[in-house]
Structure formats: structure tokens, C-alpha cells
Structure 1
Amino acid sequence: MAQLQEKAQELKEALATSEEFKSLQSLHQQIEEDDIAKKMLDNFRQLQLELQQKQMQGVQISEEEAQKAQQQFELVQQHDLISQLMEAEQKLSVIIGDINKIITEPLEEIYGNPDQEQN
């Protein structure tokens, strides 16, 4: 167990020193210092959270809410810093997904891959 935790710490340090993480961190700081960008992003994320909570509760999202979310997304995408941040978040998300896939391979040997169709 200690060896696994040690390897996890090494992976954490590698992630924290990666260019992808440093880019995300820098963009996040720039947005924190830009009142307009911060407010736009906060509003967008709040709307996302509200819609996700409704979905988790089984509440149908109205057409109006869906359109509002789409408009908010298009608005934040037009802001250069926010657009760069979202792109950096996506890149890091892919890396973390790839890491997760690698470290769960031994479990797939036992349980199979839930992403693959069963025959």
C-alpha cells in the first residue's frame, strides 16, 4: 500500500510540474485578476452547476434553460482568456483520463472494460 501511495505522490508531482498544468494555473490566475472575465466565468459555471443539479434530480431542463446555457457558452467562448482556459482544462482532462485508463487496466483484466460492448 505504501508503495502505491508513493507512486501516486510521484504522479501528483509530475502533474503539478507539467506544462499543461502550469498553463492552466497561469490562465486561472489571469482570469482571477480580470474582473469581467471572472464574473463571466463565475456566472457560466453557476448556470452549469444549476443545470447539472436539475439533471441529477431527474428534473427536465426547459428549452429556455438550454438556450440560455448555449448563449452563455457562446459568450464565454468569445472571451480570449476564458476560451484559452477551457481549452487548457480540456487538455488536462484528457491527460487525467488517459492516466486513469492506464492505472485501471489491471481491474479491466478482472472485470472487463465497461466502455466495450459485451458480446
Structure 2
Amino acid sequence: MTVNIYDDINKLENTFRKTTEYTAVQQAVLDVKSDPQALALFKSFRDLQMTLQEKQMQGIEISGEELEYAQKTAQLAQTNEKIEKMLQAEMALSGLIDEVNRVLMKPVQALYEGM
């Protein structure tokens, strides 16, 4: 019997979009986008994160000044209620994704049990 896993994955995606966790992130993102100050602050925070990650992946040392600036930017972003709510919602969504991943990996883990 041939199984098309993509049919099931597409069903899962549709279900995923209906979860409380996903809709909370969706609403939080809309709230940030509707506030020009929160949006600018978040974009600055995200751009800085991406820049530092790229440097790390390229093996470029991140200076103490850059780390200090990143910490201050993160703290400032987290003081914004809308951004903080979005980050909290994203963490909850990440937990759901982790749980789905654990369930999907059960068959693979079972293969290695008893070795």
C-alpha cells in the first residue's frame, strides 16, 4: 500500500492554522503591525538578531559592544507590551510545534530502542 504523507501533512497544516496558539500569534502580529512604534522597534530588534546570527554562522567574532547593544535592544523591545505579547504567543506556538515534532519522531525512536 502506497502512502502519500503529504496529504496528511497538508491536513495537519490546516488544523495547525486553527489552533489557539497559532491564532494568538496571528493576532499579536497584527497588533504589532498596527502600531508604528512597536513595528519599528521589532524590526530593529529582528534585524539586529539576524545580523548577529549571520556573523556567528560565518565565524565572525561578535564584539562586546555589539552584544551590549543587542541586549539593550532586546530589553527595549520586551518593554513594549505588544511585542512582549507577540513573543509570549510565539513561545507557546513553539511549544506546540515541539510537541508535534516529538510525536512525529516516535516511530524513529522506537526503531533504535533496545540497541
TM-score over 0.5 for the pair:
yes
- Asked if the contact 2:21–2:96 (Cα under 8 Å) also holds between the matched residues in 1, the reply is no
After TM superposition, list the pairs within 5 Å mapping 1:5-24 onto structure 2.
Answer: 5-24=6-25
Counterpart of 1:65?
66
Counterpart of 1:115?
none
**CA RMSD in angstroms, aligned pairs only:** 1.3
CA distance in structure 2 between the partners assigned to 1:109 and 1:57 by the alignment: 37
Query: Structure 2 counterpart of 1:27, which letter?
Result: A
Count of aligned pairs: 111
Deviations along 1:44-99, one digit per CA (max 9) or x if unpaired, are: 00000000000000111111111111101100100000000000011101110111
- Asked if the contact 2:42–2:77 (Cα under 8 Å) also holds between the matched residues in 1, the reply is yes
CA distance in structure 1 between the partners assigned to 2:110 and 2:60 by the alignment: 37
Query: Structure 2 counterpart of 1:63, which letter?
Result: G
Counterpart of 1:91?
92
CA distance in structure 2 between the partners assigned to 1:52 and 1:37 by the alignment: 22
Asked if residue 48 in structure 1 is aligned to residue 53 in structure 2, the reply is: no
> Which SS does the other structure have where 2:60 is aligned?
coil
- Asked if the contact 2:38–2:82 (Cα under 8 Å) also holds between the matched residues in 1, the reply is yes
CA distance in structure 2 between the partners assigned to 1:40 and 1:111 by the alignment: 47
Give the TM-score taking structure 1 as reference length: 0.87
> Which SS does the other structure have where 2:59 is aligned?
coil
Counterpart of 1:80?
81
Counterpart of 1:116?
none
Where in structure 1 are there 5+ consecutive unaligned residues? 113-119
- Asked if the contact 2:32–2:82 (Cα under 8 Å) also holds between the matched residues in 1, the reply is yes
Deviations along 1:28-47, one digit per CA (max 9) or x if unpaired, are: 01111111000000000000
CA distance in structure 2 between the partners assigned to 1:108 and 1:49 by the alignment: 33
Where in structure 2 are there 5+ consecutive unaligned residues? none
CA distance in structure 2 between the partners assigned to 1:109 and 1:52 by the alignment: 35
Give the TM-score taking structure 2 as reference length: 0.90
